[in-house]
């Protein structure tokens, strides 16, 4: 089974797993989408351990959206073009 997630701090309020798991089930994909609380001080460690974690993908939400741009080794073309989100 493949696993993906959304990370943030706090993350308990996230509805992402509800939405993603609906489509995973609807399309009979052997996967699960979870939410993982990552304290900002642990963001570097999370990213460093990502490949070994067994996760195949990860979405990022507050407060990590800006910090992640300085940490990851590869950005998808849209992310490279747009840069980090503007704070509200």
- Structural domain boundaries in the chain: 2-82
pTM of structure: 0.81
End-to-end CA distance of the chain: 37
Question: Could you tell me what percent of the chain has a pLDDT over 90?
Answer: 67
* In the predicted structure, residue 76 carries a pLDDT above the cut 80: no
Q: How confident is the model at residue 68 (pLDDT cuts 50, 70, 90)?
A: confident
Across the chain, mean pLDDT equals 87
65 is catalytic: yes
Question: What's residue 6's pLDDT?
Answer: 97
Q: Which of 2, 3, 41, 65 is catalytic?
A: 65
CB-based contacts of 31, cutoff 8 Å, min separation 6:
1, 2, 3, 4, 24, 56
CB 67 within 8 A of CB 46: no
Average pLDDT over residues 71-87: 61
**CATH annotation of 2-82:** 3.40.50.10860
* In the predicted structure, residue 37 carries a pLDDT above the cut 90: yes
């Amino acid at each position: 089974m493949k696993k993906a997630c959304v990370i943030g701090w706090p993350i308990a309020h996230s509805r992402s797993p509800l939405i993603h798991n609906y489509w995973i089930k609807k399309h009979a994909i052997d996967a699960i989408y979870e939410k993982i609380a990552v304290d900002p001080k642990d963001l570097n460690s999370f990213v460093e351990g990502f490949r070994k974690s067994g996760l195949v993908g990860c979405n990022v939400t507050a407060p990590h959206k800006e910090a992640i741009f300085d940490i990851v080794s590869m950005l998808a073309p849209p992310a490279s073009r747009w840069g980090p989100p503007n704070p509200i």
